Copies of this chain bind each other. A is one copy, B any other.
Amino acid sequence: MTTTPLTHIVGAGLIGASIGIGLSAEGWRVTISDADPETELLARSIGAGGAPDRNEPDLVIVATPPGVTPDVVSNALNTWPNAVVVDVASVKAPIAEVAARSGQGHRYVGSHPMAGREISGAMAAQGDLFRARPWVICPGIASAKAVAMVRSVADALLCDVVEMDAEAHDRAVARVSHAPQAAASAVAAALGPLVENDIALAGQGLRDVTRIAASHPAMWADIARLNKRSLVETLDHIVAELDAVRKADDIGAAMTALIDRGRREVARIPGKHGGAKREWEAVTVIVPDRPGHLVRLLSDAAAVGVNVEDLSIEHSPRQPVGLTTLWVLPQSASELVEALEKGGWVVAGS
């Protein structure tokens, strides 16, 4: 086995600490620091790495908030003239430009591990946080040696490495993440005029659309500033789609056309293992909301060897039952319905 690089992590939040725990568990020599002494101590106490020492690291992983990442990256390139520097911010082009301007671009690799949804802080850190998740690497003008070193980090954490151009990455995340966040928040904000009794009419559809609207605004200011061009471009596109409906002479035809355009694109979103979700079939069952019932339902499904690809629970606002939808392969659907009805379940639709 090849020797692993002496690694220093700058920033001990969820991402930095999780990388530290994961690499340390793999036997890497890791040190970790954070602007906040308490966070740094906490990260060390949970095995994210040791105290910074005098040895120059071979690899510096910058896991600071996106807003300060460009400065931290160029400082790191200056502080450690022989180290490879990689950052994990969710916007890549502006940071690559700073690294290039420093004249040290061959030692800088941009990266973006896609993880950490709905959880944050060192306390939530886990070495497995990134396992099986995409880890984008933007080589830019980095040397092959530098890229290989960053790949070895992603490999050690069992990530799914995806190489991309930095601008392409930023355009992509604007459309798959940044603008959808703004749209979900806008749909939620538009609930303002409704009284509680009106909002009680909300179904699973609204809950799905607005789920990410509940996420904390932390970091979004930085992300929006760093990815402003692509974000605005995408918001312009989304608004143009909505204008086509709200300004149409025949709003019915316009709505149908918009939904048709949306269906074509949503079918391209990979479901599990790259398979599009539309390839699954929904089996909806009425489940009393008491501990154990969901278990019984899934046991009955597993008993006939049906694998549940996905599962969603739809709640009734006031009554103690829920509609649970099991997403299964089409060839399994009828078999599942039969088995569940034999088992006494009320199948509301499939």
Of B162, B199, B252, B298, the residue contacting A295 (CB under 8 A) is: B298
With A117-B204, A252-B225 in contact, is A306–B291 under 8 Å at CB? yes
Contact A203 B190 (CB under 8 A): no
Chain A 307-319 near chain B by CB (<8 Å), digits 1 or 0: 1101111111111
Q: How far is the CA of A213 from the CA of B265 in the complex (A)?
A: 9
Contact B349 A126 (CB under 8 A): yes
Instruction: List the B residue with the shortest CB-CB distance to A313.
Output: B310
With a CB–CB cut-off of 8 A, which chain B residues contact A198?
164, 168, 171-172, 175-176
- Indicate whether A42 reaches chain B with its CB closer than 8 angstroms: no
- Indicate whether A339 reaches chain B with its CB closer than 8 angstroms: no
- Chain B nearest CB from A302 CB (Å) reads 5
- Chain B nearest CB from A233 CB (Å) reads 9
- Indicate whether A187 reaches chain B with its CB closer than 8 angstroms: yes
Contact A162 B201 (CB under 8 A): yes
- Chain B nearest CB from A178 CB (Å) reads 8
Contact B124 A220 (CB under 8 A): no
Contact B215 A259 (CB under 8 A): yes
Contact B242 A235 (CB under 8 A): yes
- Chain B nearest CB from A42 CB (Å) reads 15
Q: How far is the CA of A318 from the CA of B14 in the complex (A)?
A: 24
Which of A188, A193, A214, A292 has the most chain B CB atoms inside 10 A of its CB?
A188
With a CB–CB cut-off of 8 A, which chain B residues contact A148?
none
Q: How far is the CA of A51 from the CA of B153 in the complex (A)?
A: 70
- Indicate whether A184 reaches chain B with its CB closer than 8 angstroms: yes
Contact A315 B348 (CB under 8 A): no
Quickly give the copy total for this chain.
Answer: 2
- Indicate whether A155 reaches chain B with its CB closer than 8 angstroms: no
We find that the number of chain A residues with CB closer than 8 angstroms to chain B is 145
Contact A202 B214 (CB under 8 A): no
Instruction: List the B residue with the shortest CB-CB distance to A316.
Output: B132
Which of A209, A278, A314 has the most chain B CB atoms inside 10 A of its CB?
A209
With A126-B347, A132-B321, A188-B263 in contact, is A207–B284 under 8 Å at CB? no
Chain A residues in the interface with B (C-beta under 8 A): 14, 114, 116-119, 124, 126, 128-129, 131-134, 136, 160, 162, 164, 168-169, 171-173, 175-177, 179-194, 196-217, 220-225, 228, 231-232, 234-239, 241-243, 245-246, 250-256, 258-263, 265-274, 277-278, 282, 284, 286, 289-292, 294-295, 298-299, 302, 305-308, 310-323, 325, 346-350
Extra A-B contacts (11), CB below 8 Å, given A186-B258, A186-B262:
A126-B346, A126-B347, A131-B286, A131-B321, A175-B194, A185-B241, A188-B263, A190-B234, A208-B208, A213-B265, A214-B278
In the complex, the 4 A-B pairs of residues with the closest C-beta atoms, listed nearest first: A185-B262, A221-B252, A119-B349, A172-B198
Interface pairs (18), CB distance under 8 Å: A134-B316, A175-B198, A180-B209, A183-B186, A189-B237, A192-B261, A192-B265, A205-B211, A208-B208, A213-B259, A213-B266, A217-B260, A221-B252, A224-B251, A232-B246, A239-B239, A292-B302, A294-B308
